[in-house]
Amino acid sequence: MDNFTFYSPTFFAFGKDQEKEAGNLVKRFGGTKVLVHYGGGSVVRSGLLDRVKASLEAADVPYLVLGGVQPNPRSGLVYQGIELCRKEGVDFVLAVGGGRTIDSSKAIAAGTVYDGDFWDFYSGKLIEEALPVGTILTIAAAGSEGSPDSVITNEDGMFKRGATGDAIRPKFSILNPALTQTLPPYQTACGITDIIAHLYERYLTNTKDVEVTDRLIEALMMTMIHEGPRVIADPDCYEARANIMWAGMMAHNNSCGVGRTQDWTSHDIEHELSALYDCAHGAGLAVTLPAAYTYVMEHDVMRFAQVASRVWGCKMDFYHPEVTARAGIEALRNFLISIGMPKNFEELGAKKEDIPVLVKSLCYGNGREGSLSGFLTLSEEDCTKIYELMV
């Protein structure tokens, strides 16, 4: 196991009606003037925004609101939020929504107290200071409610980049599974796919002998495989929503990923898709994962055989472990299709002729110099072949 540090000081309030605690929690964590940041109409239509406002009012905490976060959150709104926070003396950012809203809130929180352009953080600079952030989560997916990460799309060229830093870990996150019961099946499935991707990206390690984190990741994968189809079949199932919501947080606060190298190439490969086509991140991942894993499988056949056997229930072929490994990737593909995810470029709305554009942005964007590091170092040619496997 590699040396590591782990720090997850987020306070989680989990369960029914917990959004009523928003005002008290903002106060507990030092907020005296709040920016309530949210996305589209569902937060408004469902009455959630009103309940959050009422909770802030009951706690005597003044607030401003800023809506309009788009599915792949844009830099433009972040600049707007930063300006607003500075002008109004906001000292706490409260995200009401999913990963996009939380990520946009984190960017605003970091940018408000930074002299330069907030995009510096999305170009490699560590976030060391930020306004405190709280979240009220409305979809189990990105894991941003317990992570120190944020992903934003730069409108000047439409490319997605990530930033990180313990300063943007939420001070508190309110996780009420009932808030996710109204999600359309497609969005629910996108969230499930994102969570599974976070688990695979941690599972694909080059560190040997990390049984405890292998087992924890497998536990969360099995939870998703059990609860995913259940919630697609019965969107109102509170118990399945609750299991998925805690699994989604645990999948990405890194308690199951410590002490081992990880592989974030699938996320990078996908980010080019959702940036160019504005498709849902989860949908892009559903097309990416089976292709990428088919391509990299030979780098460590036993790793893929282990997940196939332990998680997907494939019989181990001891003479031909690659058969088991491949069966596990097929099981993943079929699972994603079964919950309604796209399986190829066509269903995603992507185009084969764009592959050179995708590969160029992927391999040369974000300060990269022609390749992608992870489980396996991927050259331009490798990335091209992976995208071709998605066609």
Select from 227, 268, 272, 382 the one that contacts a copy of itself (CB under 8 A): 227
Name the DSSP class of 337: H
Select from 164, 223, 324, 361 the one that contacts a copy of itself (CB under 8 A): 223
Phi-psi region of 149 (alpha: psi -120 to 50; beta: other; left: phi over 0): beta
- Which sign does the torsion angle of CA 367, 370, 372, 373 carry? negative
Count of residues that interact with a copy of itself, criterion CB under 8 A: 43
Select from 69, 93, 231, 250 the one that contacts a copy of itself (CB under 8 A): 250
CB burial of 107-127 (b: ≥16 within 10 Å; e: otherwise) equals bbbbbbbbeeebbebbeebeb
Nearer to a copy of itself, 54 or 178 (CB): 178
Nearer to a copy of itself, 6 or 364 (CB): 6
Contacts of 62 (CB under 8 A, 6+ apart): 32, 33, 34, 56
Contacts of 55 (CB under 8 A, 6+ apart): 19, 20, 21, 22, 23, 24
Select from 60, 115, 156, 209 the one that contacts a copy of itself (CB under 8 A): 209
Contacts of 198 (CB under 8 A, 6+ apart): 143, 251, 252
Min separation Cβ 94 and a copy of itself, Å: 18
3-state class (DSSP) for residue 150: strand
350 forms part of the interface with a copy of itself (CB under 8 A): no
CB burial of 284-307 (b: ≥16 within 10 Å; e: otherwise) equals bbbbbbbbbbbbbbeebbebbbbb
Nearer to a copy of itself, 310 or 351 (CB): 310
Nearer to a copy of itself, 242 or 305 (CB): 242
Binding segment for a copy of itself (CB under 8 A), chosen from 85-93, 107-115, 117-125, 251-259, is 251-259
Min separation Cβ 138 and a copy of itself, Å: 17
- Residues 16 and 24: their CA atoms lie apart, in Å, by 16
Q: Compute the C-alpha angle 122/288/77, nearest 5°.
A: 30
Phi-psi region of 352 (alpha: psi -120 to 50; beta: other; left: phi over 0): alpha
Binding segment for a copy of itself (CB under 8 A), chosen from 55-63, 109-117, 244-252, 297-305, is 244-252
Name the DSSP class of 18: G
Which residue has 């939020």 as its token pair? 81
3-state class (DSSP) for residue 263: coil
Binding segment for a copy of itself (CB under 8 A), chosen from 72-80, 216-224, 266-274, 296-304, is 216-224
Binding segment for a copy of itself (CB under 8 A), chosen from 30-38, 247-255, 340-348, 360-368, is 247-255
Q: At what angle do helices 211-233 and 238-250 cross, to 10 degrees?
A: 150
Select from 46, 255, 261, 379 the one that contacts a copy of itself (CB under 8 A): 255
> Which residues are bridge partners to 63 per DSSP?
34
168 forms part of the interface with a copy of itself (CB under 8 A): no
Binding segment for a copy of itself (CB under 8 A), chosen from 62-70, 111-119, 222-230, 326-334, is 222-230
Select from 97, 177, 328, 342 the one that contacts a copy of itself (CB under 8 A): 177
For 6, other C-beta atoms within 10 Å of its C-beta total 10
- CB of 79 within 8 A of CB of 118? yes
If you write DSSP's letter for every residue of 241-252 in order, what string do you get?
HHHHHHHHHHTT
Binding segment for a copy of itself (CB under 8 A), chosen from 56-64, 65-73, 212-220, 374-382, is 212-220
77 forms part of the interface with a copy of itself (CB under 8 A): no
Nearer to a copy of itself, 258 or 386 (CB): 258
Min separation Cβ 275 and a copy of itself, Å: 32
Min separation Cβ 166 and a copy of itself, Å: 9
211 forms part of the interface with a copy of itself (CB under 8 A): yes
Select from 246, 321, 360, 366 the one that contacts a copy of itself (CB under 8 A): 246
40 forms part of the interface with a copy of itself (CB under 8 A): no
Min separation Cβ 335 and a copy of itself, Å: 16
Q: Interface residues with a copy of itself (CB under 8 A)?
A: 1-16, 18, 177, 208-213, 215-216, 218-220, 222-223, 226-227, 239, 242-244, 246-247, 250, 255, 258-259
